């Protein structure tokens, strides 16, 4: 267990409050896995928690939470949640405390209650497990230990009501199933396709967080297949989903290969950037926009690219709020596809010195692998692979070779003067 989490538990206990390690941390320890996060539930209110910890900051409006900061590690502490229908009339009428949409989605959820009520408010049985540092016991309120042992994902309470309260629970069911190699219980998965349209109500900023959990955690391919099956992928990438529905096999192979490469790097503890996967997802829709613009306009290639970019990015931002730092990297990867194709003179060396050269080169390799019938693309990818493995002098010769080859292509052959034949007749 995290020593920081233990410190928080002990200080809350010494302050006279009940406190438990809860959810994924307990579940993962029972499964023999190393937890990534250590969340704590307590009967102390956010303000009481802040009074105990100088390194505490309160966050959130929908869910009021306390973050206890230990350097780079953050321990999240939540007050026991209660049932909205059992709250006082005053709390139910206060929109800062309790608020629901017409679809039943919880917009404010700051009704506090007991540990039993908190367990009932948890999403899945495997997450309704509480570990106490006082008596070293795990408290199980929903037969979660049994479901952990049987590898079952099961919602607590009425399934449709729980999904309506927070539609993201549909994504969480899939993510836990793929991450933990578990099965979604029949009643838990039954209404997902029917209730999938509720995902349209989720803010784009939250969808970005869910994208990271689904696609940048080593299980991108498995999650993609499940999201497509349950009609949920379109809420991440509507243009891509539409093309996949139209049986765009090249696009499907392209993004699956990109996801496989991402999964492989993550599982090998190598660095990845979400921007690469975003660039891969939107590459073919971007090319389609470029083709459409070229039909109706006579713009330069650069102007056409930026016109297409201005079409696709605002559209995508409505689904996932991609931060500007990743948008910049995506744009660099796409622009480099053109730069890597022009290698005469200093252009090759400028492209090679580009800060995002490696990402652009990896993207080129991805394209060449999928577009196997494009011999020019394969030759280009091989050229850049060789370029990185030779000395600066050899690199210069390679660039000169490209210049000579292009000169030979452009120089027309000299025509022989026709020989005049005189007739003797």
Architecture of domain 1-152: 2-Layer Sandwich (3.30)
**How many other β-carbons are positioned within 10 Å of the β-carbon of residue 114?**
13
Alpha-carbon gap, residue 239 to 225, rounded angstroms: 17
Smallest Cα–Cα separation from 46: which of 33, 65, 60? 65
pLDDT at 99 over 50: no
Q: What band does 405 get if pLDDT is binned at 50, 70 and 90?
A: low
SS3 128: coil
pLDDT tier for residue 422 given thresholds of 50, 70 and 90: very low
123 catalytic, yes or no? yes
Mean pLDDT for the stretch of residues 327-343: 95
Summary mean pLDDT of the chain:
89
More confident residue, 110 or 157: 157
Residues 387-406 have a mean pLDDT of 86
Q: Does residue 326 have a pLDDT over 50?
A: yes
pLDDT tens-digit readout, 159-201: 999 999 999 999 999 999 999 999 999 999 999 999 999 999 9
Which residue in 39, 109, 147, 332 is the catalytic one? 39
Residue 222, CA distances (Å) to 101, 154, 196, 261, 351 in order? 32, 19, 18, 13, 35
The per-residue pLDDT for range 145-166, each reduced to its tens digit, is 999 999 999 999 999 999 999 9
Most confident stretch, 43-47, 81-85, 290-294: 43-47
Strands 129-131 and 19-22: what pairing?
antiparallel
Based on the residue annotation, tell me whether 39 is a catalytic residue of this protein.
Answer: yes
60: tokens are 């959130």
- pTM given for the model: 0.85
Cβ distance 236 to 282 under 8 Å?
A: no
Q: Which helix (H) or strand (E) holds 129?
A: strand 129-131
Asked whether residue 327 carries a pLDDT value surpassing 50, the answer given is yes
Q: Distance (Å, rounded) from C-alpha 372 to C-alpha 387?
A: 21
DSSP 325-391: HHHHHHHHHHHHHHHTT--STTHHHHHHTSTTHHHHHHHHHHHHHH-TT-HHHHHHHHHHHHHHHS-
| Confidence at 278, pLDDT banded by 50, 70, 90 | very high
Catalytic residue among 28, 109, 118, 123: 123
Closest CA to 118 of 59, 78, 62, 74: 78
User: Is residue 37 annotated as a catalytic residue, yes or no?
Assistant: yes
Percent of the chain with pLDDT over 70: 88
Q: List all residues 6 or more positions away from 263 whose beta carbon is below 8 Å from its beta carbon.
A: 218, 219, 220, 221
In this prediction, residue 298 carries a pLDDT of 77
C-alpha span between 307 and 302 (Å, rounded): 9
Are the C-beta atoms of 39 and 23 separated by less than 8 Å? yes
Q: Looking at the predicted structure, is the pLDDT value of residue 381 above 60?
A: yes
Q: What percent of the chain has pLDDT over 90?
A: 79
Burial class (CB within 10 angstroms; exposed 0-12, middle 13-18, buried 19+) of 213: middle
Average pLDDT over residues 129-134: 95
Q: Who contacts 112 (Cβ-Cβ below 8 Å, separation ≥6)?
A: 43, 45, 79, 80, 81, 82
Averaged pLDDT for residues 316-336? 96
> What pLDDT is recorded for position 94?
42
pLDDT tens string 209-225: 999 999 999 999 999 99
pLDDT for res 235:
97
Q: Would you kindly state where each structural domain of the chain is located, as residue ranges?
A: 1-152
Q: Cβ neighbours of residue 331 under 8 Å, at least 6 residues apart?
A: 309
| 392 pLDDT above the threshold of 50 | yes
The number of angstroms, rounded, from the C-alpha of 200 to the middle of its chain's C-alpha atoms is: 17
Q: If phi over 0 gives left and psi between -120 and 50 gives alpha, with beta otherwise, what is residue 44?
A: beta
pLDDT tens digits, one per residue of 235-269:
999 999 999 999 999 999 999 999 999 999 999 99
Place 91 in a pLDDT band, splitting at 50, 70 and 90: very low
Strand partners, 112: 81
Q: What is the mean pLDDT of residues 349-370?
A: 95
Query: What distance in Å separates the CA atoms of residue 52 and residue 42, rounded to the nearest whole number?
Result: 13
């Amino acid at each position: 267990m995290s020593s920081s989490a233990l410190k928080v538990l002990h200080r809350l206990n010494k302050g006279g409050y009940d406190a438990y390690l809860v959810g994924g941390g307990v579940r993962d320890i029972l499964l023999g896995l190393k937890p990534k996060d250590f969340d704590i539930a307590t009967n102390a209110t956010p303000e009481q928690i802040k009074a105990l910890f100088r390194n505490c900051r309160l966050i959130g409006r929908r869910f009021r939470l306390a973050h206890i900061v230990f350097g780079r590690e953050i321990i999240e502490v939540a007050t026991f949640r209660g049932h909205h229908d059992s709250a006082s009339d005053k709390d139910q009428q206060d929109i800062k405390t309790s608020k629901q949409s017409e679809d039943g989605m919880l917009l404010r959820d700051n009704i506090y209650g007991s540990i039993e009520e908190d367990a009932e408010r948890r999403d899945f049985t495997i997450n309704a497990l509480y570990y106490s540092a006082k008596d070293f016991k795990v408290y199980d309120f929903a037969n979660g230990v049994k479901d952990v042992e049987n590898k079952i994902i099961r919602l607590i309470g009425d399934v449709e009501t729980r999904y309506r309260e927070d539609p993201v629970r549909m994504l969480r069911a899939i993510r836990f199933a793929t991450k933990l190699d578990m099965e979604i219980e029949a009643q838990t998965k039954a209404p997902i396709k029917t209730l999938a349209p509720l995902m349209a109500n989720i803010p784009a900023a939250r969808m970005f967080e869910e994208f990271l959990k689904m696609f940048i955690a080593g299980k991108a391919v498995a999650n993609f297949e499940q999201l497509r099956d349950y009609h949920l992928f379109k809420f991440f990438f509507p243009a891509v989903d539409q093309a996949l529905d139209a049986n765009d096999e090249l696009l499907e192979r392209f993004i699956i290969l990109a996801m496989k490469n991402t999964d492989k790097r993550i599982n090998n503890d190598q660095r990845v950037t979400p921007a690469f996967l975003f660039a891969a997802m939107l590459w073919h829709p971007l090319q389609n926009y470029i083709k459409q613009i070229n039909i109706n306009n006579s713009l330069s290639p650069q102007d056409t690219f930026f016109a297409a970019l201005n079409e696709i990015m605002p559209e995508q931002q409505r689904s996932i709020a991609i931060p500007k730092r990743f948008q910049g990297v995506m744009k660099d990867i796409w622009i480099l596809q053109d730069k890597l194709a022009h290698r005469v003179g200093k252009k090759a060396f400028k492209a090679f010195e580009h800060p995002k050269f490696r990402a652009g080169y990896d993207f080129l390799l991805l394209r060449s692998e999928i577009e196997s019938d494009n011999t020019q693309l394969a030759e280009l990818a091989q050229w850049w692979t060789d370029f990185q493995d030779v000395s600066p002098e050899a690199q210069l010769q390679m660039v000169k070779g490209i210049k000579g080859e292009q000169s030979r292509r452009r120089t027309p052959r000299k025509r022989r003067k026709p020989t005049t034949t005189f007739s003797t007749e």
